[in-house]
Structure 1
Amino acid sequence: MTYDSKLKSEFIDELFDAFMLLESKEEYYRFFEDICTIKEIQSLAQRLKVAKLLREKKTYNEIEEITGTSTATISRINRCLSYGADGYNLVLDRLEKKEG
């Protein structure tokens, strides 16, 4: 199955191909430290945590308190969970399976 997206481009395909070549958490740390700022990495991690908390039925206020994320960002992530490309749900389902 091929995913069609407005995001799709040759450059992004190459970036995702690079991700798939990483073989360990240490390699991810090394690559992301070079390719992103620390703030960008923290923001990505924070968004994933917000998505997880939303699926756990936490309120916006609880999530804001736990993560420091603005309610506008929480709302955007919530819309992605319900109406997005299903990427958050895909990853969160797999994480739950791995942890379970």
Structure 2
Amino acid sequence: MQIEKIKGNQTEQLFKAVLELKNMEECYKFFDDLCTISEIQSLAQRFEVAHLLRLKKTYESIKKETGASTATISRVRRAYDYGNGTYDEMLGRLYPDENSTPTIKE
């Protein structure tokens, strides 16, 4: 697992702070202070790419819909398929009625 690579006191403090956020407004304010607009947009784009992979969209349609490069889509795909399973877990919580078995071909 790659989790060990990111573990540390600073990361733990950050994640604890995220878990303390009470609502969407606090979340927006916190990430606005913490990240650049570009960083937030990149994170949001990756999560949407994972969502579209979950919906079995093609790379081309994902690229058109999100503006993500094929390199980004491939990176998210690897994490989605071989990572810790949290993309699918979080998307399943947000969209419980959606199918979660991606079968995308490049």
Structure 1 residues 70 and 8: CA distance shift in structure 2, 3 A: same
Equivalence for 2:14: 15
**Residue type matched to 1:74 in 2?**
I
Alignment partners' CA distance in 2, 1:98 and 1:13: 32
**What TM-score do the two structures reach when normalised by structure 1?**
0.90
Which aligned pairs between 1:38-77 and structure 2 lie closer than 5 A? 38-77=37-76
Structure 2 spans left out of the alignment, 5+ residues: 99-106
- Residue 86 of structure 1 and its aligned partner are, at CA, apart by 1.4
Equivalence for 2:25: 26
**What TM-score do the two structures reach when normalised by structure 2?**
0.85
Say how many residue pairs are matched. 96
Deviations 1:18-59 (A, max 9, x none): 001110000000000000001100111110000000011100
Query: SS in structure 2 opposite 1:46?
Result: helix
**4+ aligned runs moved over 3 Å, structure 1:** none
Q: Tell which has more relative contact order, 1 or 2 (C-alpha 8 A, sep 6+).
A: 2
Q: Bigger CA drift: 90-99 or 29-38?
A: 90-99
Residue 96 (str. 1) matches residue 95 (str. 2): yes
Structure with higher helix content: 1
Identity of aligned residues (%): 52
**Residue type matched to 1:15 in 2?**
L
Alignment partners' CA distance in 1, 2:52 and 2:97: 17
Two-structure CA RMSD over aligned residues (Å): 1.5
Q: Bigger CA drift: 79-88 or 57-66?
A: 79-88
